[in-house]
Amino acid sequence: MIQAIGLTSNPREELPPAVDDVSFEARAGRVTALLGAEGAGKTTALRLMLELQQGRGITYFRGRPLHRIPHPSREVGVLLGDVPGHPSRTVRGHLRMLCAAVGVPVQRADDVLEVVGLVSLRDQRLGTLSRGMDRRLGLGCALLADPHTLVLDGPTEGLSTREGAWLHGILRAHASQGGTVLFATGDPKEAARTADRVVTLEAGRLVADQEAPDFARTRLRPRVAVLSPYAARLGALLTKEARASRRSIEVVAEGGNRLTVYGSNCAEVGETAYRHGILVHQLADEVGDAGPVGPAGRWEPSEAWTTPAAASGAGEIGQGEAGTEEEAPLSETQRLPTVPLASPSTAPPASPAPQSDSASCLPPPITVHPSPSPLRPLRYELRRLTGVGTGYLTLAAVLATSVLICVLLARAGHTPQARLLAAWPQDLPLPPAALGAGLLGALAFGDEFRHPALAVDRGTVPRRLGLLVAKLLVAAATALLSGGLTVGADAVVLHLVYGEELSGVPADWLSLSVSWAALVSGCAWAGVLAAGVFRSTTAGLAAVLGVPIVVVPLVQKAVEGPAVRSAAGLSGRLRELALMQWPFGVERYVAGGMRMIIQPVGGALALSLTALLCAYVLTAMRSRVR
């Protein structure tokens, strides 16, 4: 079950908090609706419950706050907004990637596809899905880890009646297996028809917490919708006859030629119109929203219209259109069959939250905690990288550009062989392989923040150490692969076009290879860290380009001019400091690494990586410091 206690959002400058001291329960085995108009605070309350927003209060999921649950995605399935995924990824690939993120077998993706009815669309791209299919996939993402609790914000928004009925059938099946279901909606009829209990919010405050039958009796009122060119005259006649017969009715004049009659029915309104010869175009029974809570605690009538229920004609004088089809709840025989999920784990009832002795004490603050790292972050990152064609297209573009540039440089002459194999002219700030590595590194975080594929358990992309290490490893491996393929392709093309003269192995190939690997890996890491700090692919690529364009000139100015002292003999002094002999000639590699760092590009890249890493750590710790 869910126990939300004292949920209060932080004040918004001079405005009152969006949610103010909201407390309610959602019991296991039942469907609970969080009802409210737009701006009532439904989404904010859900985000406070899931610890995605700063505020006060506490929420227990089967007796434990979310940040104390080892694997949140296995306890709570969340659907907030649209499906968080890259539009070029397939439906099945997206689910398999999330399986790696939450630590469940990849076969679970196929099982969920059957549950939500997307087997025939498993190879469809996310960007081509309709609204109904997108909602199905979002529900599948929430069900992927077989959670006990489902929390959904507007799951049927934009869906047809049939699709909404199917989705509520899935939620009802989950609750019947012992799970807890909480969904937010702005439609009172939907809440009364599909939920067992309705929690109503208005202006950020809890105004009602009722069983569904009590809610329907007190909040929803039957009414008659009338459309007539003589609406004003008909309304006056209905009021006059009701006074004469001492009946209590309410006639509300809507815009145009429309009336809403409370306390009557189609037969009585139709008979009145017939007796006085009034033409009626539409006559329909509806169930309307009684409106917001008044100052006295009673429901006030609202002039808002909902979808009409079953309409009845007005006999000979009807001459109008029949109403729309009734949106009655599905019976047991009408519900769509669903494939049952594994039964959620059971636990003893949660103990009630401790109550404070002082009523004036504020509830505890809500801190946005980073979720634990995925069980398989490296596997998740590999599926993320290979699931779309961006990486393959980038690699092909890098190879083609490098081959073209090296052929042109060899034709012009006067280019060192090392730069020739790397396709790095003097006029370019970086070779194509380094730029491609930086772009792929920037996409590692940039695309994820634009399409947060890891939102299955918490709704955001947290800055986690395990996920960062996985991204750095995969980015470095991709950069090394791209760099190796580039040099190999350039050497083969030079051999075919100009012979063996330009395709020979340089004498200092080992140091050149190490420098080349460090350059492409450093560019890839700079893209990853910059995209993680600034949450943008463009910013990540700009940080890579900023190394040779901005940082290198600054480093050159810093090292220009006569030097009074040099770092000669550094390896020997380091060996003396360690008080031991370095085996296998390690001092040579240390000296080579130091020579690489003091180069303008190497030093600038090392400086940029250090600054980006510090910024990443600071932004990761910022939420904890608050």
Question: Domains in the chain, start-ordered, CATH in brackets?
Answer: 2-216 (3.40.50.300), 217-317 (3.30.70), 377-625 (no CATH)
Identify the pLDDT of residue 556. Answer: 65
The H or E element spanning position 573 is helix 570-578
Q: How do the residues of the chain divide into helix, strand and coil, expressed in percent and rounded to 5?
A: 50, 15, 35
Per-residue model confidence as pLDDT tens digits over 316-349: 333 333 333 333 333 333 333 333 333 333 333 4
CA atoms lying within 13 Å on the CB side of residue 259: 30
Specify the higher pLDDT residue, 224 or 255. Answer: 224
Q: How confident is the model at residue 583 (pLDDT cuts 50, 70, 90)?
A: low
pLDDT of residue 358 exceeding 80, the answer is: no
Identify the pLDDT of residue 555. Answer: 64
Q: Which two tokens stand for residue 63?
A: 């007796």
Q: How confident is the model at residue 389 (pLDDT cuts 50, 70, 90)?
A: confident
Long-range contacts from 10-19, C-beta under 8 angstroms, 24+ separation: 10/54, 10/55, 16/203, 16/204, 17/55, 17/204, 18/44, 18/204, 19/44, 19/45, 19/48, 19/55, 19/201, 19/204
Residue of 428, 345, 424, 413 whose CA lies nearest to 179: 345
Identify the pLDDT of residue 175. Answer: 94
Amino acid identity of 292?
A: P
Check the CA dihedral 407-412-416-419 and report its sign.
negative
pTM: 0.67
Identify the pLDDT of residue 289. Answer: 61
Specify the higher pLDDT residue, 365 or 406. Answer: 406
Identify the pLDDT of residue 360. Answer: 42
pLDDT of residue 178 exceeding 80, the answer is: yes
Per-residue model confidence as pLDDT tens digits over 298-313: 444 443 333 333 333 3
Specify the higher pLDDT residue, 582 or 309. Answer: 582
Specify the higher pLDDT residue, 352 or 444. Answer: 444
Identify the pLDDT of residue 324. Answer: 33
As a whole number, mean pLDDT of residues 368-378 equals: 56
Give bridge partners of residue 200 from the DSSP assignment.
Answer: 35, 208
